[in-house]
Amino acid sequence: MIERYSRKELKDIWSEENKYKIWLDVEIAAAEAMEKYKIIPKGVASIVKKKGKIKVKRIHDIEAKVKHDVIAFLTSITEQAGIKARYLHQGMTSSDVLDTTLNVQLVQSGKILLTDIDKILSVLKKQAKKYKMTPCIGRSHGIHAEPITFGLKLASFYAEFKRNKERLKNSIDNISTCAISGAVGTYANINPKIEIYVAKKLKLKPETISSQIIPRDRHAQYFTTLGIIASSVERVATEIRHLQRSEVYEIQEYFSKDQKGSSAMPHKKNPILSENLTGLARIVRGHVIPALENVALWHERDISHSSVERSIGPDANITLDFALVRLANLLDKMIVYPKKMSENLNFTRGLVFSQEVMLELTKTGMSREKAYKLVQNHAKKSLVNKVNLIELLKKDKNITNKMPVKNIEKIFNYNKHFKNVGYIFKRVFK
């Protein structure tokens, strides 16, 4: 977790204070349930709630001696709440507190990430509709292919982030479980009703079956989802980076009045935000493999996952949150150059119509192979000699004997390529 790439809302979720606060919430909820079912005397939960305060430094001081974080926490609370606090944690194990708390933090983080995605969706929808019919060249392998619209590019991003939203909602639901099942998860020393009560109190679901810990396939799904979302961020960022290249220059990141692009070259306006997003996406994806490796633990549990989650929990969520907010702002403020898009569209002098010419020739009875070869040869000449493709086609008797010049001229019209844009938009934005 780096301060530079952290927002307060997410930082607070992963702070020591919030972690211990949730620990206390779990213990108090469990005590309330135990009182309800007459397992411990009445008044334990209320006295702990009233007098138990989170004192991070004191907890750390105790942990330095006892070498156990949950014991240190309980000792600190007992010091404040008095003798009745001895009834806390009855029949529970450390993982009951740790795992339930981790899941609460993931749910808290996930809900903010959902809000971040909603902002991106809102911006993409606005920009896609604005540039719905703005022509630009479509590229495959980085090479000019056929015409599309800039709005279609943005609509594609919108559809992807809409899927990401559903993935994340599913992952949040999947991780929203609570385990208060005791050592090795058999409820030997704690009533299962305690778990049900705590789960309801924390707006979670009781874990179906735990082995002292909540199964890590749930966490693997959550972090994998974050990795997928990060890849979507990079996809958009990569497109922006390519389109801002000097040779292309169809769009540009917002460049403020006093901003500097290069320490050496005053003329430069570098795509630093989208480059930064590419790097942040790599960091988030880097946490996916450790999460997957946490699934296979020894027997009912070990703690090899613990050190991993202490790192990936805050880092993946905080980093992705920052990236999503940055991406939303970038998309909202980006500068689009429709004129340059038009120039680039015409850069290859009509080569983008090669497929249509070939298809029309096949309709005249010419074999596809012959039609392909004819058009390809003229395309090569057009590129080398910098001549418009249509002019070469008009001079070829093999073509004009099959297809009148007026029919050739009809082909060289962009409108055909955009006739289904409205249809696609209806599917995307339904």
Residues designated as active site = 141, 262
DSSP state of 47: H
How many angstroms separate the Cα of 349 from the Cα of each of 55, 62, 164, 325, 344?
Answer: 72, 76, 39, 40, 10
Residue written as token pair 């590129």: 383
Chain position carrying tokens 């949730």:
22
Q: Is 177 strand, coil or helix?
A: strand
The backbone torsions φ and ψ at residue 207, rounded to the nearest 5 degrees and listed phi first, read -65, 135
Paired with 139 in beta bridges are 144
Alpha-carbon distances of 96 from 23, 70, 164, 184, 295, rounded to whole Å: 10, 10, 30, 10, 18
Report whether 151 contacts 418 (CB < 8 A).
no
Quick one: angle between helices 150-175 and 217-243, nearest 10? 160
- Could you tell me if 45 and 31 are in contact, meaning their C-beta atoms sit under 8 angstroms apart? yes
Give the integer Cα–Cα distance in Å for 217 and 295.
Answer: 5
H-helix or E-strand containing 135? Answer: strand 135-140
Decide: residue 164, CB within 10 A, 0-12 exposed, 13-18 middle, 19+ buried: buried
Residue 206 three-state SS: strand
Residue among 45, 386, 370 at smallest CA distance from 197: 45
Paired tokens of 364: 């005249």
Pure H helices in 244-300:
272-285, 288-293
CA distances (Å), origin 334, targets 123, 149, 308, 396? 11, 16, 37, 45
Identify the bridge partners of residue 147 per DSSP, sorted by sequence position: 137
| Cβ pair 226, 316 in contact under 8 A | yes
Tokens 């392998």, residue located: 141
Angle (CA) 278 283 284, round 5°? 100
Name, in order, each residue with C-beta under 8 angstroms of 405's C-beta and a sequence gap of 6 or more.
394
